[in-house]
């Protein structure tokens, strides 16, 4: 029987160079979408999916993440004294709902390496990996959708999404095993996966998005992986190694995904989530309507 998913790993040691200078002195995971740091969206998704042991893989300069998920005693008593109960509840909510642990990835040696660093804290049980850059608005939450599939197939499950052919080289891309039969809507067994293929080499346009349910046998597979040309251990390559010894599945997520790891994706996510906020949607929409979008850069309402 498939085990329960109790722990989620959040790789967060990356340098965030794409957002410099904003990320010079603050982690990219703390960039704000409306009023919440990006990483909190992923943590809330985990909690809403029934996973409350959060394991964050950090590196140098990431202290703000630890502070964010810690109890802020002074701030809490300040808000309490002034009767600001709504804000107090908001900041308490997330710290109360999770157990959080941190492990350091000394050198940024890739996603596979980040998962390997978490091995001792994961132990011998299945677990989730959430890449915080991918913020997914879905109901049920994306991770819950994966867990439901995992319970059925009892093996590793990766979240995927169909992407335009010109974008495949930004992702891990999977090949569907057509012989596996019908596993349910959007659920497939895979026969191969490749990290960031050239467009002409891609086995499909089904791209891995940042949610995984993994089994502990991924660890020996990752250890067996020599670093690739970039000097990194890729999770995709570890999974490819694991595929030789067990079936791996993918699930097309029903929801809206934003890649907040690049500037345009971040801006789109910001507008998307602002328009979903009951307190901001109307005035923000009214503001957007005043913009003369055809006039291009520099135009003023
Ligand atoms: C990572 C993974 C890739 C996956 C992507 C999803 O790449 O290596 O397989 O498709 O996340 O966001 P990165 O975006 O970190 O380069």
Strand (E) positions, the chain?
7-11, 32-33, 36-37, 53-58, 99-104, 127-130, 134-137, 157-162, 172-176, 187-195, 206-214, 249-252, 256-259
- Taking the complete model, does pTM exceed 0.95, yes or no? no
Residue 208 Cβ contacting ligand 1 at under 6 Å? yes
Would the pLDDT of 227 be above 80? no
Residue 207 Cβ contacting ligand 1 at under 6 Å? yes
Both tokens of 6, joined, read: 């109790």
Residue 210 Cβ contacting ligand 1 at under 6 Å? yes
Average pLDDT, the chain: 92
Which domains occur in the chain, in start order?
Answer: 7-275 (3.90.550.10)
89 confidence band (pLDDT: 50, 70, 90): confident
pLDDT tens digit string along 25-76?
899 999 999 999 999 999 999 999 999 999 999 998 889 999 999 887 888 8
Pairing verdict, β 256-259 and 187-195: unpaired
Residue 161 Cβ contacting ligand 1 at under 6 Å? no
Q: 210: CA distance to ligand 1 center in Å? A: 7
Residue 193 Cβ contacting ligand 1 at under 6 Å? no
At 228 the pLDDT is: 67
In this structure, what is the dihedral angle of CA atoms 133, 220, 103, 89, given to the nearest 10 degrees?
50
Residue 236 Cβ contacting ligand 1 at under 6 Å? yes
Nearest alpha carbon to residue 262 among 57, 20, 44: 20
Q: Over pLDDT 90: what percentage of the chain?
A: 74
Would the pLDDT of 301 be above 70? no
* Closest CA to ligand 1's atom 5: 171
Would the pLDDT of 298 be above 60? no
**Atom from ligand 1 closest to the CA of residue 171:** 10
Residue 128 Cβ contacting ligand 1 at under 6 Å? no
Would the pLDDT of 299 be above 60? no
Ligand 1 pocket: which of 9, 18, 19, 131 to mutate (most atoms <8 Å of CB)? 131
pLDDT tens digit string along 150-191?
999 999 999 999 999 999 999 999 999 999 888 888 999 999
Q: 239: CA distance to ligand 1 center in Å? A: 13
**Atom from ligand 1 closest to the CA of residue 134:** 12
Helices (H) and strands (E) in the chain, counts: 11, 13
Residue 131 Cβ contacting ligand 1 at under 6 Å? yes
């Amino acid at each position: 029987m498939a085990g329960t998913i109790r722990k989620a790993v959040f790789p967060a040691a990356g340098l965030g160079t794409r957002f410099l200078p904003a990320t010079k002195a603050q982690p990219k995971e703390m960039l704000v979408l409306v009023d919440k740091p990006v990483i909190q969206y992923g943590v809330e998704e985990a909690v809403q999916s029934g996973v409350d042991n959060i394991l964050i893989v950090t590196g140098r300069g990431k202290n703000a993440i630890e502070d964010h998920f810690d109890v802020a005693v002074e701030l809490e008593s300040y808000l309490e004294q002034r009767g600001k109960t709504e804000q107090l509840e908001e900041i308490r909510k997330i710290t109360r709902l999770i157990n959080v642990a941190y492990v350091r990835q000394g050198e940024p040696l890739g996603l596979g390496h980040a998962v390997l660093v978490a091995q001792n804290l994961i132990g011998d049980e299945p677990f989730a990996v959430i890449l915080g850059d991918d913020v997914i608005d879905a109901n049920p939450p994306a991770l819950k959708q994966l867990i439901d599939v995992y319970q059925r197939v009892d093996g590793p499950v990766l979240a995927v999404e169909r992407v335009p052919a010109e974008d495949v080289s930004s992702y891990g891309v999977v090949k569907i095993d057509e012989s596996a039969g019908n596993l349910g809507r959007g659920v497939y067994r895979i026969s191969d996966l490749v990290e960031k293929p050239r467009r002409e080499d891609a086995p499909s346009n089904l791209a891995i998005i940042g949610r995984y349910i993994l089994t502990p046998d991924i660890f020996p597979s990752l250890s067996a992986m020599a670093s690739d040309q970039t000097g990194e251990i890729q999770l995709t390559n570890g999974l490819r190694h694991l595929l030789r010894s067990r079936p791996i599945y993918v699930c097309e997520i029903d929801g809206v995904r934003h890649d907040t790891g690049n500037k345009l994706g971040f801006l789109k996510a910001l507008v998307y989530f602002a328009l979903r906020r009951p307190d901001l949607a109307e005035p923000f929409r009214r503001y957007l309507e005043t913009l003369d979008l055809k006039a291009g850069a520099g135009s003023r309402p």
